[in-house]
Structure 1
Amino acid sequence: MNTPPLPRQFALDLSHTPKASLDNYLPSKDLALLSALQNLCKGWQGNVINQSSNPLNHRWIYWWGPEGSGRTHLLEAMINVAENIGIESFFLNPKEPISWVRLEEKMGALVQSDTPSVIAVDDVDALDERLVGALFRILNGVQASKQIHIFMAGKAAPGNLELREDLRTRLGWGLVFQTQLLDDDEKIQALEQAAKARGLVLSPDVLPWLLNRFYRDMPNLMALIDALDAYSLETKRAVTLPLVRELLQPK
């Protein structure tokens, strides 16, 4: 099915969009991963990290799954938790190579530090040769430390990534999980949860119509919830099916 182009209104100010968190993540079948991350966050918040012995597989987690399965949301959630409680954090992805340089400049100090730090690496499968080398060096630093936590995500299991062998092997040194796409009922539940978090009331026919007529992947559906929220405020109208159709009308 052909999907419509994103309408003009998607460019509206979406600064009020709730930040990614573990609480606003709908896990589908990813309960083991969510539980592991929640336990880590409880340890950070309770300051119960054992500084003399922090096993590598408690600090080193890789998860993989198809686009739209929540990979980036979980990485951002862990960064947001770290920032909220004052833990130094770094978010890396292939599109911002300068952030890798800045982290590598700090790695020596982080390795020697007695306080925790957090690194998140998105789209591991899309790293170029230079960033593959940088991640390899970063992982060596994490292994040598007691307090650096690293969370990584990609589109495939470590052994199936098109990366050099020594990096593929290292990605699997910690815990490995798979993220799953939501089914339609779970998508509706997640979208209802997102709307509620924004104080947005949707008429009952809106979400089923969107799943049948609009994009079916969660990133675009979540973007549409944001756009509906902004457009509803701009027009001072309730979110009904006519408003949705108007928003999606090509300009």
Structure 2
Amino acid sequence: MTAEQLPLALSLDTEATFDNYYVPHSQQLLVSELRRAALGDGEQFTLLSGDTGRRHLLQACCHLAVSNEKLARYIPLEEVIHFPAEAVLEGVEALDLLCLDDLGAVAGKADWEVALFNVYNRCLSSGTFLVLAAVQAPQSMDVGLADLRSRLQGFSRYRLVEMTESERIKALQHRALERGLGLNDAVAEYIYRRCQRDFSSLFEVLNELDRHSLVQRRKLTIPFVREVMSWT
């Protein structure tokens, strides 16, 4: 199996960029270091743990690397776990940047752990920057291969702290601004209080509002938002 035969799910989300990501104070150092890694600077091996924003940030790294004429690949391990590990990871040492998500999905699986240990060694030799990510911190994962556990201990580690409600509202406003939409505090909070609080749901509502706003040539006011949200 070649890289071209991997699932289409491995393709990057076009909206998962650093420009589209609101950076709260708690994540400023983390995002700065991820940007450096994407450009081939800073620490070669990085491990990111946490939930919200993890996938976005890893794909943002790849987008930034590619825009600077580097070779990069994002692989969500949970979505390729039924493929042969060595085949999925074949040739990654030729990349400038490799981002592997969902590390916890393959923890405890001997073939994957051996493959990841080999990837670490190949990246070390080739100079490929490697960013790993998982919901759990590595010490909470059931990694059976002692050599892999040892290597993970040497990664620069960062924890994604969950955003507060006010930060989530600011993230919604930031995404709206990137789309050229004006979203004042009152309207942003109105949206936030009336839909599911996860970013996927919030941004889906924003997409609908953007579409209807363009068609009807109306600004995002509370009456207009209430009308659109009643349809969706």
Q: Same fold (TM over 0.5)?
A: yes
1:83 aligns with 2:66: yes
State the 1:230 CA deviation: 2.2
Which stretches in structure 1 are left out of the alignment for 5+ residues?
Answer: 1-15, 50-56, 111-115
Partner residue, 1:181:
162
CA distance in 1, matches of 2:117, 2:19: 28
Partner residue, 1:121:
100
Distance 1:87 1:17, change over 3 A: closer
Is contact 1:90–1:120 with CA below 8 Å preserved after alignment?
Answer: yes
1:29 aligns with 2:14: no
* Count of matched residue positions in the alignment of Structure 1 and Structure 2: 215
CA RMSD in angstroms comes to: 2.9
Identity of aligned residues (%): 25
1:163 aligns with 2:148: no
CA distance in 1, matches of 2:84, 2:20: 27
Which stretches in structure 2 are left out of the alignment for 5+ residues?
Answer: 1-12
Is contact 2:213–2:219 with CA below 8 Å preserved after alignment?
Answer: yes
CA distance in 2, matches of 1:227, 1:101: 41
Counterpart secondary structure, 1:30: helix
Is contact 1:232–1:239 with CA below 8 Å preserved after alignment?
Answer: yes
CA distance in 1, matches of 2:88, 2:123: 12
TM-score between the two structures when normalised by the length of structure 2: 0.78
Distance 1:242 1:21, change over 3 A: same
CA distance in 2, matches of 1:27, 1:175: 20
CA distance in 1, matches of 2:132, 2:149: 12
CA distance in 1, matches of 2:61, 2:84: 17
CA distance in 2, matches of 1:61, 1:84: 21
CA distance in 2, matches of 1:92, 1:17: 15
Task: Report which structure shows greater RCO (CA 8 Å, sep ≥6).
Answer: 1
CA distance in 1, matches of 2:85, 2:205: 32
CA deviations on 1:102-142 (whole Å, 9 max, x unpaired) are: 653314x62xxxxx610001111123735444323222322
